[in-house]
Amino acid sequence: MLDKSIKTFTEELCSAAPVPGGGGASALAGALSAALASMVGNLTSGKKKYAEYQEEIESIIAKSAKLATDFEDLINKDAVMFEPLSKAYGIPKEEPGRDELLEKCLMDAASAPAEMVDRAQEVAVILTRLADIGSRLAISDVGTAAALCSAAAKGAAMNVYINTKLLKNRDVAEQINEDVDAKIEEITKMCDQVYSKVELGLKPGKQA
Protein backbone atom coordinates (compact mmCIF):
# COMPACT_ATOMS: atom_id res chain seq x y z
CA MET A 1 0.00 0.00 0.00
CA LEU A 2 1.12 3.56 -0.68
CA ASP A 3 2.95 4.72 2.42
CA LYS A 4 3.92 8.21 1.32
CA SER A 5 2.07 11.47 1.65
CA ILE A 6 0.85 13.14 -1.52
CA LYS A 7 3.36 15.93 -0.87
CA THR A 8 6.26 13.47 -0.68
CA PHE A 9 5.02 11.64 -3.76
CA THR A 10 4.77 14.80 -5.85
CA GLU A 11 8.14 16.05 -4.63
CA GLU A 12 9.74 12.80 -5.75
CA LEU A 13 7.81 12.96 -9.00
CA CYS A 14 9.30 16.41 -9.60
CA SER A 15 12.83 15.13 -9.07
CA ALA A 16 15.22 13.35 -11.42
CA ALA A 17 14.60 10.05 -9.63
CA PRO A 18 13.41 7.34 -12.07
CA VAL A 19 10.50 6.41 -9.79
CA PRO A 20 7.82 7.37 -9.25
CA GLY A 21 7.16 8.24 -12.85
CA GLY A 22 4.33 8.05 -15.33
CA GLY A 23 3.28 4.62 -14.14
CA GLY A 24 3.00 5.69 -10.53
CA ALA A 25 1.19 8.88 -11.50
CA SER A 26 -1.29 6.86 -13.57
CA ALA A 27 -1.92 4.53 -10.65
CA LEU A 28 -2.52 7.50 -8.37
CA ALA A 29 -5.07 8.89 -10.84
CA GLY A 30 -6.75 5.50 -10.84
CA ALA A 31 -6.82 5.38 -7.05
CA LEU A 32 -8.43 8.83 -6.93
CA SER A 33 -11.01 7.79 -9.50
CA ALA A 34 -11.94 4.64 -7.59
CA ALA A 35 -12.02 6.53 -4.29
CA LEU A 36 -14.41 9.09 -5.75
CA ALA A 37 -16.64 6.25 -6.95
CA SER A 38 -16.71 4.85 -3.44
CA MET A 39 -17.46 8.30 -2.04
CA VAL A 40 -20.42 8.75 -4.37
CA GLY A 41 -21.65 5.34 -3.32
CA ASN A 42 -21.41 6.30 0.34
CA LEU A 43 -23.26 9.56 -0.31
CA THR A 44 -26.00 7.60 -2.08
CA SER A 45 -26.29 4.78 0.44
CA GLY A 46 -29.22 4.94 2.82
CA LYS A 47 -31.07 7.65 0.94
CA LYS A 48 -34.79 6.93 0.44
CA LYS A 49 -34.67 8.27 -3.11
CA TYR A 50 -32.22 5.52 -4.07
CA ALA A 51 -33.54 2.75 -1.80
CA GLU A 52 -34.24 0.41 -4.72
CA TYR A 53 -30.52 0.41 -5.56
CA GLN A 54 -29.25 -0.01 -1.99
CA GLU A 55 -27.83 -3.51 -2.45
CA GLU A 56 -26.09 -2.53 -5.67
CA ILE A 57 -24.75 0.65 -4.09
CA GLU A 58 -23.28 -1.31 -1.19
CA SER A 59 -21.53 -3.57 -3.68
CA ILE A 60 -20.20 -0.54 -5.56
CA ILE A 61 -18.84 0.98 -2.35
CA ALA A 62 -16.94 -2.21 -1.49
CA LYS A 63 -15.64 -2.79 -5.01
CA SER A 64 -14.54 0.81 -5.47
CA ALA A 65 -12.71 0.92 -2.14
CA LYS A 66 -10.93 -2.32 -3.04
CA LEU A 67 -9.96 -0.92 -6.44
CA ALA A 68 -8.56 2.23 -4.80
CA THR A 69 -6.34 0.02 -2.63
CA ASP A 70 -5.35 -2.06 -5.67
CA PHE A 71 -4.22 1.09 -7.46
CA GLU A 72 -2.24 2.19 -4.40
CA ASP A 73 -0.48 -1.17 -4.40
CA LEU A 74 0.28 -0.76 -8.10
CA ILE A 75 2.14 2.49 -7.40
CA ASN A 76 4.62 0.47 -5.40
CA LYS A 77 4.60 -2.50 -7.76
CA ASP A 78 5.42 -0.23 -10.69
CA ALA A 79 8.45 1.12 -8.82
CA VAL A 80 9.59 -2.33 -7.71
CA MET A 81 9.34 -3.77 -11.22
CA PHE A 82 11.25 -0.89 -12.76
CA GLU A 83 14.34 -1.22 -10.55
CA PRO A 84 15.61 -4.53 -12.05
CA LEU A 85 15.06 -3.10 -15.55
CA SER A 86 17.11 -0.05 -14.69
CA LYS A 87 19.93 -2.27 -13.45
CA ALA A 88 19.71 -4.55 -16.50
CA TYR A 89 20.33 -1.61 -18.81
CA GLY A 90 23.63 -1.10 -17.00
CA ILE A 91 24.90 -4.60 -17.81
CA PRO A 92 27.55 -4.56 -20.59
CA LYS A 93 26.04 -5.60 -23.92
CA GLU A 94 28.59 -8.39 -24.36
CA GLU A 95 27.67 -9.94 -21.00
CA PRO A 96 26.24 -13.47 -21.47
CA GLY A 97 22.55 -13.69 -20.67
CA ARG A 98 22.00 -9.93 -20.81
CA ASP A 99 19.42 -10.09 -23.59
CA GLU A 100 17.38 -12.77 -21.82
CA LEU A 101 17.46 -10.86 -18.55
CA LEU A 102 16.51 -7.61 -20.25
CA GLU A 103 13.61 -9.32 -21.99
CA LYS A 104 12.29 -10.63 -18.67
CA CYS A 105 12.70 -7.25 -16.98
CA LEU A 106 10.83 -5.53 -19.80
CA MET A 107 7.95 -7.98 -19.44
CA ASP A 108 7.88 -7.47 -15.69
CA ALA A 109 7.98 -3.68 -16.06
CA ALA A 110 5.03 -3.81 -18.45
CA SER A 111 2.99 -5.95 -16.06
CA ALA A 112 2.16 -3.28 -13.47
CA PRO A 113 0.78 -0.69 -15.92
CA ALA A 114 -1.08 -3.47 -17.74
CA GLU A 115 -2.78 -4.29 -14.43
CA MET A 116 -3.64 -0.61 -14.05
CA VAL A 117 -5.49 -0.76 -17.35
CA ASP A 118 -7.44 -3.77 -16.11
CA ARG A 119 -8.39 -2.04 -12.87
CA ALA A 120 -9.36 1.13 -14.75
CA GLN A 121 -11.71 -0.95 -16.87
CA GLU A 122 -13.44 -2.13 -13.71
CA VAL A 123 -13.74 1.42 -12.42
CA ALA A 124 -15.19 2.59 -15.74
CA VAL A 125 -17.94 -0.01 -15.50
CA ILE A 126 -18.80 1.18 -11.98
CA LEU A 127 -18.87 4.82 -13.06
CA THR A 128 -21.18 3.99 -15.94
CA ARG A 129 -23.66 2.70 -13.41
CA LEU A 130 -23.14 5.53 -10.91
CA ALA A 131 -23.94 8.04 -13.65
CA ASP A 132 -27.46 6.60 -13.54
CA ILE A 133 -28.03 5.63 -9.90
CA GLY A 134 -25.59 7.77 -7.94
CA SER A 135 -26.80 10.70 -5.86
CA ARG A 136 -27.45 13.75 -8.02
CA LEU A 137 -25.81 15.83 -5.30
CA ALA A 138 -22.52 14.09 -6.07
CA ILE A 139 -22.91 13.67 -9.82
CA SER A 140 -20.06 16.09 -10.57
CA ASP A 141 -17.78 13.70 -8.68
CA VAL A 142 -18.82 10.92 -11.05
CA GLY A 143 -17.75 13.10 -13.97
CA THR A 144 -14.48 13.91 -12.26
CA ALA A 145 -13.87 10.23 -11.57
CA ALA A 146 -14.52 9.44 -15.24
CA ALA A 147 -11.92 11.99 -16.34
CA LEU A 148 -9.39 10.57 -13.89
CA CYS A 149 -10.16 7.00 -14.90
CA SER A 150 -9.59 7.76 -18.56
CA ALA A 151 -6.33 9.54 -17.76
CA ALA A 152 -5.19 6.65 -15.56
CA ALA A 153 -5.84 4.12 -18.30
CA LYS A 154 -4.18 6.13 -21.06
CA GLY A 155 -1.19 6.97 -18.90
CA ALA A 156 -0.78 3.33 -17.90
CA ALA A 157 -0.96 2.30 -21.55
CA MET A 158 1.97 4.59 -22.37
CA ASN A 159 3.98 2.76 -19.73
CA VAL A 160 3.10 -0.58 -21.27
CA TYR A 161 4.07 0.55 -24.76
CA ILE A 162 7.45 1.97 -23.77
CA ASN A 163 8.42 -1.49 -22.53
CA THR A 164 6.86 -3.58 -25.30
CA LYS A 165 8.58 -1.36 -27.86
CA LEU A 166 11.93 -2.78 -26.74
CA LEU A 167 10.92 -6.44 -26.55
CA LYS A 168 12.78 -8.63 -29.03
CA ASN A 169 9.87 -11.05 -29.16
CA ARG A 170 7.66 -8.94 -31.39
CA ASP A 171 4.82 -11.48 -31.44
CA VAL A 172 4.46 -11.20 -27.67
CA ALA A 173 4.83 -7.42 -27.84
CA GLU A 174 2.08 -7.07 -30.43
CA GLN A 175 -0.20 -9.38 -28.49
CA ILE A 176 0.21 -7.27 -25.35
CA ASN A 177 -0.27 -4.06 -27.29
CA GLU A 178 -3.42 -5.30 -29.02
CA ASP A 179 -4.92 -6.38 -25.70
CA VAL A 180 -4.19 -2.99 -24.13
CA ASP A 181 -5.42 -1.14 -27.23
CA ALA A 182 -8.79 -2.89 -27.09
CA LYS A 183 -9.21 -2.14 -23.38
CA ILE A 184 -8.21 1.50 -23.77
CA GLU A 185 -10.76 1.94 -26.53
CA GLU A 186 -13.50 0.50 -24.32
CA ILE A 187 -12.44 2.46 -21.22
CA THR A 188 -12.21 5.72 -23.13
CA LYS A 189 -15.63 5.18 -24.67
CA MET A 190 -17.24 4.46 -21.29
CA CYS A 191 -15.54 7.36 -19.52
CA ASP A 192 -16.34 9.81 -22.31
CA GLN A 193 -19.98 8.76 -22.23
CA VAL A 194 -20.13 9.19 -18.45
CA TYR A 195 -18.42 12.57 -18.61
CA SER A 196 -20.75 13.79 -21.37
CA LYS A 197 -23.84 12.55 -19.52
CA VAL A 198 -22.77 14.35 -16.35
CA GLU A 199 -21.88 17.50 -18.24
CA LEU A 200 -25.25 17.57 -19.97
CA GLY A 201 -26.97 17.17 -16.61
CA LEU A 202 -25.03 20.05 -15.12
CA LYS A 203 -25.37 22.28 -18.19
CA PRO A 204 -28.91 21.70 -19.45
CA GLY A 205 -28.49 24.19 -22.26
CA LYS A 206 -25.59 22.27 -23.76
CA GLN A 207 -26.41 20.35 -26.91
CA ALA A 208 -25.53 16.64 -27.11
Q: What is the CATH number of the domain that holds 171?
A: 1.20.120.680
Is residue 13, in this structure, part of any structural domain at all? no
Is residue 9, in this structure, part of any structural domain at all? no
For residues 164 and 172, what is the distance between their CA atoms, to the nearest angstrom?
8
- Quickly state the pLDDT bin for 95 (edges 50, 70, 90): confident
Is residue 1, in this structure, part of any structural domain at all? no
Is residue 83, in this structure, part of any structural domain at all? yes
Is residue 195, in this structure, part of any structural domain at all? yes
- Quickly state the pLDDT bin for 137 (edges 50, 70, 90): very high
For residues 41 and 56, what is the distance between their CA atoms, to the nearest angstrom?
9
Count of Cβ atoms closer than 10 Å to residue 154 Cβ: 17
What pTM was estimated for this model as a whole? 0.92
- Quickly state the pLDDT bin for 94 (edges 50, 70, 90): confident
Is residue 8, in this structure, part of any structural domain at all? no
Range of the domain at 78: 19-202
Instruction: Count up the domains in the chain and report the number.
Output: 1
Is residue 208, in this structure, part of any structural domain at all? no
